[in-house]
Chains A and B, each alone.
Chain A
Amino acid sequence: MTARTHTSPVAATTGRLLRRLVAYGSLALFGLLVAVPLVYFLVTSFKPMEEYLTYPPRFFPTRWRPENYEAAVTMFPYFRYAGHSLFLGLSNTILTVATSAMAGFAFARINVRARDKLFTIIIAMLIVPGIVVQIPQFIIFARLKLTGTWWPWILWGLAASPFFVFMFRQFFAGFPRELEDAAEIDGCGPFRTFWAVFIPNAKPVIATAFILNFAGVWGDYVNPFLFLKDANTTLAVKLQIGYLSPHGELLTTIVLAGAMLYVLPLVIAFFLGQRHILEGVVTSGLKG
């Protein structure tokens, strides 16, 4: 059913202009609201310790202290721990994305009688609060002599993540039926279909899963705090507890500096990646 809307060219242009104004205006305003705390964060990381909070508040430091950044990376071997986080993040993420995509595909596209019941387990595991299983899992790993090592992350990766299984399932369920039918006609079994048809068309999902999981492992401090020891723990843990003077005071501005360095790789990776993966579409008259 098509309805031709007759609008005069002038009205169309002003309408477009207005829409554009509203869009950019709200983006700018919202962007400002989101950005202000971040900018304040960045600026505060350059302040001397006592100035992290003054009254009346001062936006810029009276004395710039790039030494905070130097301290942030020298108070403990910053890059060594970053390396730990990198390894754990990558290994866990690659495994998780692979196994979760497989399971998500099965739950979405392979109709088997037990499927619904098994999927309920997935949802249930999403809902179970982590701490209920954390300590018993710790005990199991400890008896297997795997605590204080990085093996838990490998094993968790292999065991897939209910969150991503669910996510892949939703995405794969939305794929057009025709794709699958065509593959079937070509004689592809489920695995070929998965690999040759679904995966290539799932780049945005895979990239999203990758970055979300990686950011999650990178930022996780609860698990490394329990399962690892100081020698091989992650940067996230060190960020939480490493910027203490020998007498226990928290060195706030150094924490902020450390935190800024800490998000930098993720931000850069995201910025570069999103351009390729999330190309977007033109769905409105805002064609530039």
Chain B
Amino acid sequence: MANNQQAEGQRGARWRKSARGRKSARARRRTISFYLFIAPWLLGFVLLSVVPLCIGFFTSLTNYDGFDPADSKFVGLDNYTRAFSDDRMFLSLSRTLLWAAINTPLWLVVTFCMALVLNQKGIKGRGFLRTLYYVPSIVPIVGVVWIWKIILDNNFGLLNAIISIFRPGTAIPFMSQYALQSLSVIALWTGLGSGMVIFLAGLQDIPEELIEAAQIDGANALQLFRHVTLPIMTPIIFFQLVLGLISAFQQLVLPMLLAPGQEAGGWNPPRGSYLYMIHAYRQLFIYQRYGYSTALLWLLFIVIMALTLMVFRTARYWVFYEVEIEGGGQP
């Protein structure tokens, strides 16, 4: 890996030295084409996102409650300092950290392995299997929650009923005491699809010639994996890791819908699955604390951003790109 980058650097340097005259014109053309390529995104960002972001940030500095802005007042960083004396906030943050630490690696490993296996031409019925694993990710969340509630319900669930055949009267509290574990299983079930599909797409890009060459050289499956597949897949793995972390921290809908108490609106999950986003949303939807809720969300943003940047910084040690993408976009 390092060799390539060094060669790249040398090649680039030579080229730069010898073409100084053409360089500025070239560079200018490159700049223009770069901005042309990103123009739709950039325009969209400026027109549709910048103002909302500013409004969103400004709201976090007020005690706005959603009603008339004239009724609210500027409170500076009070909402942010308030978060640090909010016990429930720390509880939800620690649950979310635990959740991310368990679920993201689990999801990565499982979906990657599945993609590897289902990429083999020799597996019969793999088209069917791939589709099977994909379906849970497109079932509407309403349906997902219903089915798993039916399966995991403490007193009337399918799983407890099956266990009751061997141990009568079982009522393992999946929905209350083991809420986080149940959530894990359900999240994995629904997350299989997207994870697997992206990894599969990435596996297509491994040049057949490389594989054949390695096999001719006598590499067995494990060596093939370690020296060909894995390195080429690192950009995709990196992508999945970052996305996995972000979505783990932003998990909201599943624990919310699985929470008991329909009349209460599902905002009261058991402590096990009381994740950060739920805490933030409760502030807004129940207590009408628009400003505080937004501040909590910005705090989450900072946490995730910090983590993500850390991951980006490690990229240079294990992610193998074909081009000089040194640092992978880290500021």
User: A159 contacts which of B48, B134, B139, B281 (Cβ < 8 Å)?
Assistant: B48
Known contacts: A53-B153, A123-B308, A208-B197. The answer to whether A283 contacts B120 by CB under 8 A is yes
Q: Which residues on B sit within 8 Å (CB–CB) of A271?
A: 127-128, 131
A273 nearest CB across to chain B (Å): 10
> Is A18 engaged at the interface, CB distance under 8 Å to the other chain?
no
Q: Which residues on A sit within 8 Å (CB–CB) of B153?
A: 53
Q: Which residues on B sit within 8 Å (CB–CB) of A226?
A: none
B45 nearest CB across to chain A (Å): 7
Known contacts: A270-B134, A281-B208. The answer to whether A41 contacts B143 by CB under 8 A is yes
Identify which of residues 242-288 in chain A touch chain B, using a CB-to-CB cut-off of 8 Å: 252, 255-256, 259, 262-263, 266-267, 270-271, 274-275, 277-288
> Is A182 engaged at the interface, CB distance under 8 Å to the other chain?
no
B200 nearest CB across to chain A (Å): 5
Please state if A204 and B205 are interface contacts (CB–CB under 8 Å). yes
Known contacts: A53-B153, A274-B130. The answer to whether A23 contacts B41 by CB under 8 A is no
Most buried by A among B42, B205, B280: B205
Known contacts: A129-B250, A208-B198, A280-B119. The answer to whether A37 contacts B148 by CB under 8 A is yes
Please state if B201 and A35 are interface contacts (CB–CB under 8 Å). no
Interface string of A119-155 (1 = CB under 8 A from B): 1111111111101111011011000000000000001
Known contacts: A280-B119, A288-B122. The answer to whether A108 contacts B323 by CB under 8 A is yes
Please state if B192 and A171 are interface contacts (CB–CB under 8 Å). no
B178 nearest CB across to chain A (Å): 17
Q: Which of A60-68, A74-82, A162-170 contacts B (4 or more CB under 8 A)?
A: A162-170
A222 nearest CB across to chain B (Å): 9
By beta carbon, the residue of chain A nearest B150 is A53
Please state if B150 and A40 are interface contacts (CB–CB under 8 Å). yes
Number of A-B contacts (CB under 8 A): 333
Please state if A259 and B143 are interface contacts (CB–CB under 8 Å). yes
Cα separation A139 to B198 with both chains bound (whole Å): 35
Count how many chain A residues have C-beta atoms less than 8 Å from C-beta atoms of the other chain: 117
By beta carbon, the residue of chain A nearest B239 is A170
Identify which of residues 18-32 in chain A touch chain B, using a CB-to-CB cut-off of 8 Å: 19, 23-24, 26-27, 30-31
Determine chain B's interface SS by DSSP, over half rule: helix
By beta carbon, the residue of chain B nearest A190 is B33
Interface string of B285-308 (1 = CB under 8 A from A): 000000000100110110011001
Please state if B201 and A207 are interface contacts (CB–CB under 8 Å). yes
Please state if B323 and A177 are interface contacts (CB–CB under 8 Å). yes
Most buried by A among B41, B135, B150, B155: B41
Please state if A240 and B142 are interface contacts (CB–CB under 8 Å). yes
Count how many chain B residues have C-beta atoms less than 8 Å from C-beta atoms of the other chain: 116
Q: Which residues on B sit within 8 Å (CB–CB) of A2?
A: 217-218
Q: Which residues on A sit within 8 Å (CB–CB) of B2?
A: none
Please state if B147 and A116 are interface contacts (CB–CB under 8 Å). no
> Is A88 engaged at the interface, CB distance under 8 Å to the other chain?
no
Q: Which residues on B sit within 8 Å (CB–CB) of A280?
A: 118-121, 126, 200, 203-204
> Is A14 engaged at the interface, CB distance under 8 Å to the other chain?
no
Q: Which residues on A sit within 8 Å (CB–CB) of B194?
A: 212
Cα separation A225 to B117 with both chains bound (whole Å): 39
Cα separation A110 to B323 with both chains bound (whole Å): 10
Please state if B246 and A126 are interface contacts (CB–CB under 8 Å). yes
Q: Which residues on A sit within 8 Å (CB–CB) of B156?
A: 53, 55, 57
A168 nearest CB across to chain B (Å): 10
Identify which of residues 33-87 in chain B touch chain A, using a CB-to-CB cut-off of 8 Å: 33-38, 40-45, 47-49, 51-53, 55-56
Please state if B150 and A160 are interface contacts (CB–CB under 8 Å). no
> Is A8 engaged at the interface, CB distance under 8 Å to the other chain?
no
Q: Which residues on A sit within 8 Å (CB–CB) of B277?
A: 129
A140 nearest CB across to chain B (Å): 7
Please state if A170 and B238 are interface contacts (CB–CB under 8 Å). yes
5 sampled A-B residue pairs with Cβ under 8 A = A44-B147, A129-B297, A267-B135, A271-B131, A278-B119
Given contacts A55-B161, A115-B329, A284-B224, 20 further A-B contacts (CB under 8 A): A5-B218, A19-B221, A38-B132, A52-B146, A57-B161, A103-B37, A120-B331, A124-B305, A171-B201, A173-B321, A173-B323, A176-B207, A204-B201, A212-B194, A259-B143, A271-B128, A282-B120, A283-B228, A284-B221, A286-B120
B residues with a Cβ closer than 8 A to A are 8, 29-31, 33-38, 40-45, 47-49, 51-53, 55-56, 114, 117-124, 126-143, 146-148, 150-151, 153, 155-158, 161, 189, 192, 194, 197-198, 200-208, 211, 217-218, 220-221, 224-225, 228-229, 232, 235-236, 238-239, 242-243, 246, 250, 277, 280-281, 284, 294, 297-298, 300-301, 304-305, 308, 312, 321-325, 327, 329-331
